[in-house]
């Protein structure tokens, strides 16, 4: 065998069947082969287990999918290269020309843009309401056949809580499917509700370290099967190395989510007491207008704390710039704390009236609490508030 041949047919290292790695290896291979054409065909027909091409599936990504499905309390899952990819692929796969969907002002910006620009181009219409408007949801469902409702809880950026039981009941009664982007609540919450599809950005709490992008759709077997053929041709499969990093981050998911929730609770309680700080929104605050609903739906309230500075946008800018432990950057749920000042929070696709409906004011600031010592975070926040003329 010449060297050019050898490098393409390297020696196989066999691991004996009774000898297992404790951490699953990364199967960084696009292709998988069987010994015979017949076995290959049997695998493709689903008559035996095995892998063929990584755009359909790969053992490393499959391990992550099975873990996520179990945590969310459903049977199956597919992972994608990013959270936005999973939102796009799910909505493109579930809808067709002439159909109508319901969405909300309080949603992730790119999801709204996808619905308006991309689905709109293919003749899918939508009604956009406020997540608080249950009467409006019912009226919209009565007014016209609706394929699906896509919503979030807690919502971005002001932590409004969707009434999941009420929304899913209305959807069932009117033959609409429900798609819940559960990124903020994480993979361990909301599983007991009658939701058809759960979507996640794995980039946030699930991987947790801010070093990898990923997305997941989780549902029961038949519902995932309905998407699988389309997902294979959309083609944004998660890379096995990214899947390995996410699976690794997931091991500390519960410790991180709960520590971040506990620190966020302390930050929220501290902010409520500060001069120049208004309308602190954190679902764990007993003073939060939706605390009772949040308590009934959630066991942990997450790491996002949002509030308004009475000094407006300029105070928000000074506050964010004076913070030392918070990076001025989007995203959430990572080990470092992050801040979004008002200048970066407003969504360009929402006119002023809808921004107000979404709960975004001129002085709105969003914090994502990381894993730093909470005493240090409070000291940093106190100092930055004074620098911004508050506190």
Ligand X SMILES: *Cc1c(COP(=O)(O)O)cnc(C)c1O
C-alpha distance from residue 76 to each of 70, 129, 218, 224, 363 (Å): 8, 30, 6, 6, 42
Q: Which is nearer to ligand X, 152 or 288 (CB)?
A: 152
Q: Compute the distance between CA of residue 343 and CA of residue 56 in angstroms, rounded to an integer.
A: 41
Q: Which is nearer to ligand X, 210 or 342 (CB)?
A: 210
Does the footprint of ligand X cover residue 76 (CB under 6 A)? Answer: no
- Vertex 170, ends 191 and 88: CA angle to 5°? 60
Q: Compute the distance between CA of residue 2 and CA of residue 169 in angstroms, rounded to an integer.
A: 67
Q: Compute the distance between CA of residue 250 and CA of residue 202 in angstroms, rounded to an integer.
A: 10
Does the footprint of ligand X cover residue 347 (CB under 6 A)? Answer: no
CB of 83 to ligand X, least distance (A): 2
Does the footprint of ligand X cover residue 181 (CB under 6 A)? Answer: yes
CB of 258 to ligand X, least distance (A): 19
Does the footprint of ligand X cover residue 201 (CB under 6 A)? Answer: yes
Which of these segments, 177-185, 221-229, 285-293, 315-323, binds ligand X (CB under 6 A)?
177-185
Site string for ligand X, 82-101 (x = CB under 6 A): xxx--x--------------
Tell me which of 60, 156, 207, 265 binds ligand X, using CB under 6 A. 156
Binding residues for ligand X, total number by CB under 6 A: 15
Which of these segments, 18-26, 27-35, 94-102, 200-208, binds ligand X (CB under 6 A)?
200-208
Does the footprint of ligand X cover residue 341 (CB under 6 A)? Answer: no
Closest CA to 29 of 210, 217, 243: 243
Beginning with the edge strand found earlier in the chain, give each strand of the sheet holding 337-340 in spatial order.
277-281, 304-309, 364-368, 337-340, 326-328
CB of 201 to ligand X, least distance (A): 3
CB of 177 to ligand X, least distance (A): 18
DSSP 276-289: TEEEEE-TT-TTST
CB of 361 to ligand X, least distance (A): 20
Q: Which residues pair with 365 in a beta bridge?
A: 307
Does the footprint of ligand X cover residue 215 (CB under 6 A)? Answer: yes
Residue nearest ligand X by beta-carbon distance: 83
Cβ burial, residue 355 (10 Å; 0-12/13-18/19+): middle
Does the footprint of ligand X cover residue 106 (CB under 6 A)? Answer: no
How far from chain centre, in Å, is Cα 282? 18
**DSSP at 16:** P
Q: Which is nearer to ligand X, 256 or 318 (CB)?
A: 256
By CB under 6 A, name the binding residues for ligand X.
82-84, 87, 108, 152, 156, 181, 183-184, 201, 203-204, 213, 215
């Amino acid at each position: 065998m010449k060297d050019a041949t050898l490098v393409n047919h390297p020696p196989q290292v066999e691991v004996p069947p009774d000898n297992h790695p404790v951490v699953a290896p990364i199967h960084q291979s696009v292709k998988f082969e069987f010994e015979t054409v017949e076995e290959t065909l049997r695998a493709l027909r689903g008559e035996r287990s095995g892998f063929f091409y990584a755009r359909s599936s790969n053992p490393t990504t499959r391990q992550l999918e099975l873990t996520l499905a179990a945590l969310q309390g459903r049977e199956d899952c597919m992972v994608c290269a990013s959270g936005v990819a999973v939102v796009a692929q799910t909505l493109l796969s579930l809808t067709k020309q002439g159909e109508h969907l319901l969405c909300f002002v309080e949603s992730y910006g790119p999801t709204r843009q996808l619905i308006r620009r991309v689905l709109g181009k293919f003749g899918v219409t939508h009604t956009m309401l406020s997540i608080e408007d249950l009467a409006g949801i019912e009226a919209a469902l009565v007014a016209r056949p609706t394929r699906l409702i896509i919503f979030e809880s807690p919502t971005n950026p002001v932590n409004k809580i969707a009434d999941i039981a009420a929304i899913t009941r209305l959807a069932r009664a009117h033959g609409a499917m429900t798609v819940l982007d559960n990124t903020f609540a994480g993979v361990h919450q909301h599983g007991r509700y009658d939701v058809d599809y759960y979507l996640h950005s794995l980039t946030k709490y699930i991987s947790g370290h801010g070093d990898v992008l990923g997305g997941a759709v989780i549902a029961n077997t038949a519902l995932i099967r309905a998407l699988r053929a389309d997902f294979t041709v959309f083609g944004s499969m998660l890379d096995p190395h990214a899947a390995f990093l996410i699976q690794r981050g997931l091991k500390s998911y519960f410790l991180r989510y709960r520590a971040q929730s506990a620190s966020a609770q302390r930050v929220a309680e501290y902010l409520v007491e500060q001069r120049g700080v208004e309308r602190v929104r954190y679902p764990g605050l007993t003073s939060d207008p939706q605390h009772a609903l949040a308590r009934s739906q959630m066991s942990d309230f997450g790491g996002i704390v949002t509030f308004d500075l009475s000094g407006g946008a300029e105070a928000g800018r000074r506050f964010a710039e004076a913070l030392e432990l918070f990076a001025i950057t989007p995203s959430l749920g990572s080990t470092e704390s992050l801040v979004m000042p008002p200048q970066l929070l407003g969504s360009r696709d929402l006119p002023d009236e809808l921004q107000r409906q979404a709960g975004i004011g001129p002085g709105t600031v969003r914090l994502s609490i990381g894993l730093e010592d909470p005493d240090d975070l409070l000291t940093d926040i106190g100092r930055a508030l004074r620098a911004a003329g508050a506190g």
